[in-house]
């Protein structure tokens, strides 16, 4: 899996590492654009392919048909094996000569859940989790997170009830080093700028500014 790992390098060729964890749509134009943005900010970015065991090379459209197809593919996904892939990618980045100053993890949707799990079970230096649907029911794992962690949610997410977000808010309030930001008017996947059915430009811009500021504080490039 790591032999074909896509990498993006900053202009300097060196920097801290970031594992960017995909949504159910796979390594698509959106995720590539996020990787490019993070590389431009000074990070060495790696994107592990989560569905390589069951649907290698998976990438879908961002309409209702694409969501349905991606949900079917995701139904065969083993979260424990996916977490192992994320943790292996963190370790791989640490081994690269071009990676200096630590390694973090950032994920969206499915990747948001895995970013949180990686922070609880592994050793990233920082973590950012966007709208992970399993975060609320696994929030007890926050006690095992030793690195700074930032959560993002939409207040109008049809897949993640606002009551679940409130559970995360309460846990974060009692955990030093954790923070949460809720874009109350936004729904799910609001940062995905190639998915008109999800994208909320204003919420996306606010959340991304918070994300980049958090990364500058916790994993400076």
Q: What is the CATH number of the domain that holds 55?
A: 3.40.50.1820
Read off the pLDDT of each residue in 27-40 and give the average, rounded to a whole number. 96
> Is the pLDDT reported for residue 176 higher than 90?
yes
Residue 25: count of CB within 10 angstroms of its CB: 27
Q: What is the pLDDT of residue 1?
A: 61
Q: pLDDT, tens digit, for every residue of 79-136?
A: 999 999 999 999 999 999 999 999 999 999 999 999 999 999 999 999 999 999 999 9
Number of independent structural domains in the chain:
1
Is position 109 annotated as part of the catalytic site? yes
Catalytic residue among 188, 191, 199, 200: 188
Domain that holds residue 177: 2-218
Q: Between 195 and 128, whose confidence is greater?
A: 128
Catalytic residue among 28, 85, 157, 164: 157
Using the CB atoms, write b or e for 91-111: b if 16+ within 10 Å. Answer: ebbeeeeebebbbbbbbbbbb
Is position 188 annotated as part of the catalytic site? yes
Read off the pLDDT of each residue in 199-211 and give the average, rounded to a whole number. 98
Q: What is the pLDDT of residue 69?
A: 87
């Amino acid at each position: 899996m790591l032999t074909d790992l896509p990498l993006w390098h900053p202009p300097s060729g060196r920097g801290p590492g970031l594992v960017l964890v995909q949504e159910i749509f796979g390594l698509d134009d959106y995720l590539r654009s996020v990787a490019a943005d993070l590389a431009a900010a000074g990070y060495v970015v790696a994107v592990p392919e989560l569905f390589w065991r069951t649907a290698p090379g998976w990438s879908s459209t961002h309409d209702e048909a694409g969501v349905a197809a991606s949900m079917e593919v995701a139904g065969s996904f083993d979260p424990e094996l996916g977490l192992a892939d994320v943790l292996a990618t963190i370790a791989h980045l640490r081994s690269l000569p071009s990676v200096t100053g630590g390694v973090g993890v950032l994920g969206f949707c499915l990747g948001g859940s895995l970013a949180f799990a990686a922070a609880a079970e592994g050793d990233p230096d920082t973590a950012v989790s966007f709208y992970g649907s399993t975060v609320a029911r696994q929030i007890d794992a926050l006690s095992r997170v030793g690195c700074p962690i930032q959560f993002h949610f939409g207040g109008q997410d049809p897949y993640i009830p606002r009551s679940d977000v409130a559970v995360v808010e309460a846990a974060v309030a009692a955990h030093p080093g954790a923070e949460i930001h809720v874009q109350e008017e936004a729904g799910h996947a609001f940062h995905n700028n190639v998915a008109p059915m999800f994208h909320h430009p204003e919420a996306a811009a606010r959340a991304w500014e918070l994300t980049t500021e958090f990364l500058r504080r916790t994993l400076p490039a």
